[in-house]
Amino acid sequence: MKAFIFDLDGVIVDTARLHYQAWRELAKELGFDFTPEDNERLKGVSRMRSLEILLEIGGIQVDEQEKHRLAEKKNNRYRQLIMKLTPDDMLPGAKEFLEQSRAMGLKLALASASKNTPLILERIGLEDFFDSVVDGNRVSKAKPDPAIFLTAADDLQVLPQQAVVFEDAVAGVQAAHSAGMKAVGIGKPDVLKQADLVVGGLNEIMPQQVIEFFKQKH
Ligand code: BG6
Ligand code: MG
């Protein structure tokens, strides 16, 4: 293994609650409630697809123009919320895991569907940390399409089988496997069934253990 590729939302920073807050406010304006369970369905899903799921839940139909207006409205609110992020909003163990990975000489990439990636990285002080950043502004095909991870491997000049992906979304684990990469799931084993290894967070494992785990499997 030569490279680690990290998803951002839900792996490095706790933004799911902010996405939820912004979507919930929009749902409220549209006249329905949006529960935390509903929000689970939006993890790893693109902004437009998230809106479609939200409208489906509310039983609301709108035309394309209105869809774009609503997506923009949600995003403006979400950006207000992420402006308040600080390095303290990184998930437990994330900073340490990244630094230890760096110290081991691994190549490190960030691969997220979010078009807000540059702003989030800046807020948490990681804007210059990664060797490669591939986000929703660069690759439009959403996970489970492997494009985002293949672009990262290409940037890092490693083969897919030399990379491990860290993902909290089912679609992200699928994308990693479609790319020919190993996947460490961050979250619950009953949700991330397809991952090669599942941990609750980056605070529960060390980079060396990840490397050892995949060495033994071969
Ligand atoms: C993913 C999140 O990382 O990015 C999704 O898990 C989100 O919930 C998607 O919808 C797109 O994010 P953004 O910031 O471009 O709206
Ligand atoms: Mg995620």
Which pLDDT does position 135 carry in this prediction? 96
Write down how long the chain is.
218
> CA-CA-CA-CA torsion for 145, 14, 125, 127, nearest 10 degrees?
10
Write down the domain spans for the chain: 3-13+88-217, 16-82
- Which of 114, 5, 102 shows the shortest CA–CA distance to 49? 114
Which pLDDT does position 197 carry in this prediction? 97
Q: Does domain 3-13+88-217 have CATH number 3.40.50.1000?
A: yes
Which pLDDT does position 44 carry in this prediction? 85
Alpha carbon 153 to its chain's center: 16
Which pLDDT does position 218 carry in this prediction? 59
What is the CA(147)–ligand 2 centre distance, in A? 16
CA atoms of 147 and 9, how far apart (whole Å):
18
0.85 exceeded by pTM: yes
Which pLDDT does position 142 carry in this prediction? 87
Q: Which CATH architecture has domain 16-82?
A: Orthogonal Bundle (1.10)
Per-position pLDDT tens, the chain of length 218: 999 999 999 999 999 899 999 999 999 999 999 998 888 888 888 999 999 999 999 999 999 999 999 999 999 999 999 999 999 999 999 999 999 999 999 999 999 999 999 999 999 999 999 999 999 999 989 899 999 999 999 999 999 999 999 999 999 999 999 999 999 999 999 999 999 999 999 999 999 999 999 998 75
Which pLDDT does position 21 carry in this prediction? 96
Q: From the candidates 7, 135, 155, 196, which is the catalytic residue? A: 7
Which pLDDT does position 162 carry in this prediction? 97
Ligand lying closest to the C-alpha of residue 44: 1
- Tokens 């460490």, residue? 184
Quick check: is 7 catalytic?
yes
What is the CA(112)–ligand 2 centre distance, in A? 7
What is the CA(44)–ligand 1 centre distance, in A? 6
